[in-house]
Structure 1
Amino acid sequence: MLDVDIAGTVGSLEFQARFASEGGVTSLFGQSGSGKTTLTNMIAGLLVPQTGRISLDGTVLFDAAQGVNLPVQERRIGHVFQDARLFPHLSVRSNLTYARWAGRRKGDRDLDEVVDLLGLSTLLERKPGRLSGGEKQRVAIGRALLSDPRLLIMDEPLASLDQARRNDILPYLDRLCGEAGIPILYVSHSIEEVARLSDTLVILSDGRTPAYGPVAEMLTRTDLGRATGRHEAGALIHGKVTGMDAAWGLTLVDIGGAVLQIPDLPAETGDTVRLRIRARDVALALEPPKGLSIRNAFEASITSISEETGPYAEILCVLNDQTIRARITRASVADLDLAAGKNVTVLIKSVAIDRRQRSLV
């Protein structure tokens, strides 16, 4: 468990952060300048808070009141930065094992295990100059894992990559997050990465942590629009793959009361998957429509309507224990006479569903 309750001043930023994570993948999400890197540097011991306490799995890393401030090397935190920071004169194999050698730690994680996890077997004898950006980042992650860390911090590891390279490395991050066996603190300003990889979401805004909690719950919080960004706001839903329609290339996913049809979903029958649906891709109707190309239509109940000063309204609908978020105009809310407790038909285009979410164990 990672428990953080700290405050301090860094430059002109008045910083105050408080959150707790039970393990798995915890994402720190916020816009540029919100304090994400400042927070990770304080956890890693690279910056010192003025007040507060940080503990990891029962070990106190920092406690201002008790005068505790463990040195960086004693915290055993692996750090992956935006740039890979590999040694250019060493092979991939030597870069992977350097941190273990320098730290004089044997560690329980086998080199071959990490090589297999990150798909590095064909790269071991190459020098960094012969690697792509995504390959360099995979080597940097492997090096951090082999340093025998108690916590792995990944500080926007995809920020320097173009979209094609991001798509190349994301499947490896999927697997890493599911199989690494250590807590991961993942820093990003991409809601797509956060929704795909994390279990717990911590929101940062102007040096503060206004909210944290399970990622699915946080993404449906309509009061966090300024911090999370309205354009990419949406919801996470969980479902089970119940079958395939091979004739049309569709995968059938039961989300508990409705079955979604999703094209090109990389999953097998019986898999439990997590899907992201953007609020701007959801439409509402008073009754099931006819003659539409939209294949996903199901009944749900409105739980809340959050109207803002602009032209849009944020609407939360519930289907059993699943929450769907929709953004429609305030004019449509008035025309349809929508209100909390009213049943509506939720419409979602199959092609609009973010289907690259990792399978859940």
Structure 2
Amino acid sequence: MDAIHGCRGWLHCRMGGFDLRLDWDVEPGQALVLFGPSGAGKTTALRAMAGLLRPVDGVVEIDGRTVYDGSARIWLPAHHRQVGYLTQQYHLFPHLNVMQNVGYGPAKRTAESLRRISELLDSFELAGLEERYPWELSGGQQQRVALARALATEPRLLLLDEPFAALDAGLRRTVRQELRTMLALNPVPVILVTHDREEALSLGDEVQVIDGGQVIDRGAPVDVLGQPGQAEVARLVGVENLFHMRVESRQPRDGTMRLSGTGAEAGFTLETPLGGRQGASSEEEWITVGIRASDIILSSGEPVGSSARNRIPGLVARVEPRPPGYTVELDCGVPLICQVTGASLDEMGIRVGQPLWAVFKASSCFLVQDGPAIHGENRPDGEFRNLDYPQ
């Protein structure tokens, strides 16, 4: 494949009363993740890039070539854009076998195209299945055939619209790794739509969080999805615990501060990384704090000799399956959502009403910006609530 120059541009799309605005710049071999809930505009963005719908305005450059420019009235149809587009439906031709499906895309059957098809079949572990038809394949094999077919045309841009959604968790991880390997061998820019956090973290070089047609956060996946800086983003990426608390004191030497609840929850305190307004102030200061369930350790007794600064007693209020483990809600005066493995659940005999301790480091807490977009924050009126509630 000749050297590719990446994909960049911006779009304004309108469908009825819905407006979508975004911009991007993806280098060859890199993957941009569009992350957000259903109806956010992610698929609309891909369809506009592919030339399957016409935007209100914008510019789309693929491999150094302008395929759409609203102001200059440039519009190349989808079949001239050299774009590979894969959805979760796969759309394999039922009357064609594996070899014929993968070989359908290239315009001409040359020795080079046949060599590439053979390499793709080997790379996606499809060798030996060339004569099988789609109905004779497993879901994972069908997905591999669809990916191989998309890459067989040597696209200058690969668009993936939740292509792994129909696969089980174990198979998703395997196919994601295969795709990463293929991108290293075939450096094409990739734009991936997903609402799966693990998928975004494993495949993305950059993530844009989209909600209501607007990009509300962007950056490295580990930053945006791991410890998001905005409450709205925290809600969208599934941060289980968000608390709005009052600053009691700061310890600049340790780089931490002490926060507390109010009213009936006055006994609920946290030690977090230093943040908020610095310096003395007579005005009460409130800060929203996020804690991921996976960062909380449960203990059957009060930990002794632990470096973790937050050790909070509570009673188990709820236990629910959350593959690959379980969600445990601990009543600590406020509901605290924790996550444990099945082995830990059995070993500790966790059950409703059982007293446990929640243990987590100050560094596991992250500060979240307040604003009108916050949903499900724990309010400063003495009433704590987790995540979503009617406004």
Q: Same fold (TM over 0.5)?
A: yes
Distance of aligned partners of 1:205 and 1:156 in 2 relative to their CA distance in 1, 3 Å threshold: same
Distance in 2, matches of 1:105 and 1:9, equals 44
Distance of aligned partners of 1:279 and 1:9 in 2 relative to their CA distance in 1, 3 Å threshold: same
Partner of 2:294: 281
1:39 aligns with 2:45: yes
**Aligned-pair Cα RMSD in Å:** 3.7
**Candidates 54, 63, 68, aligned match of 1:57:** 63
Compute the displacement of 1:303 (Å): 7.4
Compute the displacement of 1:211 (Å): 2.5
**Candidates 10, 22, 30, aligned match of 2:27:** 22
Partner of 1:84: 90
The Cα offsets for residues 277-299 of structure 1, whole Å up to 9 and x where unpaired, read as: x822224999526xx99xx9989
Compute the displacement of 1:147 (Å): 0.7
Q: Which residue identity does 1:4 align to in structure 2?
A: G
Deviates more, 1:114-123 or 1:177-186: 177-186
Distance in 2, matches of 1:225 and 1:187, equals 18
Distance of aligned partners of 1:201 and 1:109 in 2 relative to their CA distance in 1, 3 Å threshold: farther
Distance in 2, matches of 1:124 and 1:209, equals 42
**Candidates 191, 194, 198, aligned match of 2:197:** 191
Distance in 2, matches of 1:109 and 1:153, equals 24
Distance in 2, matches of 1:85 and 1:100, equals 17
Distance in 2, matches of 1:158 and 1:301, equals 30
The structure with the larger Rg is 2
Distance in 2, matches of 1:83 and 1:59, equals 29
Distance of aligned partners of 1:150 and 1:13 in 2 relative to their CA distance in 1, 3 Å threshold: same
Distance of aligned partners of 1:128 and 1:195 in 2 relative to their CA distance in 1, 3 Å threshold: same
Percent pairwise identity: 29
Q: For residue 199 of structure 2, give the secondary structure of its aligned residue in structure 1.
A: helix
**Candidates 98, 103, 107, aligned match of 1:97:** 103
Which structure 2 residues correspond to residues 307-326 of structure 1 after superposition, within 5 A? Answer: 310-311=377-378
Q: For residue 222 of structure 2, give the secondary structure of its aligned residue in structure 1.
A: helix
1:225 aligns with 2:234: yes
Distance in 2, matches of 1:40 and 1:87, equals 22
Q: Which residue identity does 2:189 align to in structure 1?
A: P
Q: Which residue identity does 2:21 align to in structure 1?
A: Q
Distance of aligned partners of 1:210 and 1:57 in 2 relative to their CA distance in 1, 3 Å threshold: farther
Q: For residue 26 of structure 1, give the secondary structure of its aligned residue in structure 2.
A: strand
Partner of 1:176: 182
Unaligned runs of 5+ in 2: 1-5, 243-290, 298-302, 312-343, 345-358, 386-391
Task: Give me the TM-score of the superposition, normalised by structure 1.
Answer: 0.65
Unaligned runs of 5+ in 1: 234-277, 314-329, 332-361
Contact 2:26 2:190 in 1 (8 A): no
Partner of 1:122: 128
Distance in 2, matches of 1:158 and 1:281, equals 24
Task: Give me the TM-score of the superposition, normalised by structure 2.
Answer: 0.60
Partner of 1:68: 74
Deviates more, 1:19-28 or 1:297-306: 297-306
Distance in 1, matches of 2:51 and 2:147, equals 19
Q: For residue 107 of structure 2, give the secondary structure of its aligned residue in structure 1.
A: helix
Distance of aligned partners of 1:108 and 1:280 in 2 relative to their CA distance in 1, 3 Å threshold: farther
Q: For residue 7 of structure 1, give the secondary structure of its aligned residue in structure 2.
A: strand
Compute the displacement of 1:70 (Å): 1.4
